[in-house]
Amino acid sequence: MSVINVGIIGASGYTGLELVKILIKHPKFNLSYVANSEGGVMLSDLHPSLSGVYECKVLKTDVDELAQECELVFLAVPHQTAMAYVKPLIAKGVKVVDLSADYRLTQDLYEEFYCPHTDVQNLSHAVYGLPEINREALKSAKLVANPGCFPTSAILGLLPFMEKRLKNTPIIIDAKTGVSGAGKKLSDVTHFVNVNDNLFAYNPLMHRHAPEIAQKLHVDFDEVNFVPYLVPVTRGMISSIYIQVSGDFDAFELLREFYKDEQHVRVCKNPVDMKSVSGTNFCDIYVKQKGSVLFISSAIDNLMRGASSQAVVNANIMMGVDESAGIPNIAYVP
């Protein structure tokens, strides 16, 4: 198989950087187009750690040029901006993995939590890019909505146990995320002095990732109680999940069986930690039962499984490439 040319729109942020880091080592993809909204700088000026490793000029995004160059493009831009690019890209036959929220929700939920949707046509065929639930659909997808980081960790933790769950009992998700999830933007919650040696919840019970979780799990939004905490960590995310279950079963065995054929989920006998998945596409999951309550702890790297490496897995599936091709599995430990 010959090399497949791919591009990135939105190379300036953390997820853009992670995409570059994966794609320049990818055995099947060739990163042939790197752009942001302004263009004109060297990529290593945006990301000095790439100096002497990968040097290229960042282009000003031009959909026509991109369409001539690439078969697939990763969009690492804010929601709303993404829609504006998807429309012409799909029209020109370029496959798209969109890392924003624009194609993750049904129109009504999207418009309730974000803004008016201006590309309903493509929304109708977009595939939610969680391979563990949509692998088949991804194979023929033209447009993939890459999942949010919180939903990825929460859904993968919950999926195996949804059948055991007592109907009409609350799903509790107490999540903890590293600061890179807030992006490069300067704000009070990313100021070192506010975060270091500290901890706090934000948007409790109101975060926009809650409807995404509910919709993909086919439960009511009312049943999902989602509270994220910001922890003084650069990257990583753990969701603490509590549900009520019925019936007699071995939660660990159920979990292991459920994911036995999945290469990017690790079922753990000991409580998971953030670092063991840092820099990888793994989702590590631990479960423990006490009476009718199930505690599930699900860890991912928010920038990788929660964004960029999952995006490349999706691209692999879309392009008929081995699912784990080029996907990092060596953690940033210690």
Residues within window 14-73 making contact with a second copy, judged by CB under 8 A: 14, 17, 21, 25, 47-49, 51-53
Residue partners of 40: CB distance under 8 A and separation at least 6: 57, 58, 60
Q: Which residues between 192 and 251 bind a second copy (CB under 8 A)?
A: 192-202, 204-205, 222, 225, 227, 229, 231-236, 238, 240, 242, 244
Tokens describing residue 226: 């989602």
9 vs 274, beta carbon nearer a second copy? 274
What is the Cα–Cα distance from 112 to 211, expressed in whole angstroms? 10
DSSP output for 25-94: T-SSEEEEEEEESS--SBHHHH-GGGTTT---BPEEP-HHHHHHH-SEEEE-S-TTHHHHHHHHHHHTT-
Instruction: In angstroms, give the least distance from the CB of 270 to a second copy.
Output: 7
The answer to the question of residue 166 lying near a second copy (CB under 8 A) is no
What is the Cα–Cα distance from 191 to 300, expressed in whole angstroms? 23
In the set 56, 70, 149, 283, the catalytic residue is 149
- Torsion from C-alpha of 202, 203, 209, 213, nearest 10 degrees: 100
Secondary structure (3-state) at 143: strand
The answer to the question of residue 256 lying near a second copy (CB under 8 A) is no
120 vs 189, beta carbon nearer a second copy? 189
51 vs 107, beta carbon nearer a second copy? 51
Secondary structure (3-state) at 262: coil
The answer to the question of residue 180 lying near a second copy (CB under 8 A) is yes
Instruction: In angstroms, give the least distance from the CB of 201 to a second copy.
Output: 4
What is the Cα–Cα distance from 321 to 308, expressed in whole angstroms? 17
Instruction: In angstroms, give the least distance from the CB of 12 to a second copy.
Output: 12
25 vs 57, beta carbon nearer a second copy? 25
131 vs 178, beta carbon nearer a second copy? 178
Secondary structure (3-state) at 271: coil
Q: Which residues between 117 and 146 bind a second copy (CB under 8 A)?
A: none
The answer to the question of residue 95 lying near a second copy (CB under 8 A) is no
Instruction: In angstroms, give the least distance from the CB of 290 to a second copy.
Output: 4
Instruction: In angstroms, give the least distance from the CB of 17 to a second copy.
Output: 7
**283 among known catalytic residues:** no
136 vs 253, beta carbon nearer a second copy? 253
Of 4-12, 70-78, 101-109, 178-186, which part binds a second copy (CB under 8 A)?
178-186
What is the Cα–Cα distance from 32 to 72, expressed in whole angstroms? 10
Tokens describing residue 257: 């069986």
Size of interface with a second copy, in residues (CB under 8 A): 79
Instruction: In angstroms, give the least distance from the CB of 104 to a second copy.
Output: 21
What is the Cα–Cα distance from 277 to 107, expressed in whole angstroms? 33
Q: Between 277 and 316, how does the x/- string for binding to a second copy read (CB under 8 A)?
A: x-x--x---x-x-xxxx-x-x-----x-------------
DSSP state of 307: T
Report the candidate in 25, 167, 148, 146 with the shortest Cα–Cα distance to residue 95. Answer: 146
Q: Which residues are catalytic?
A: 149
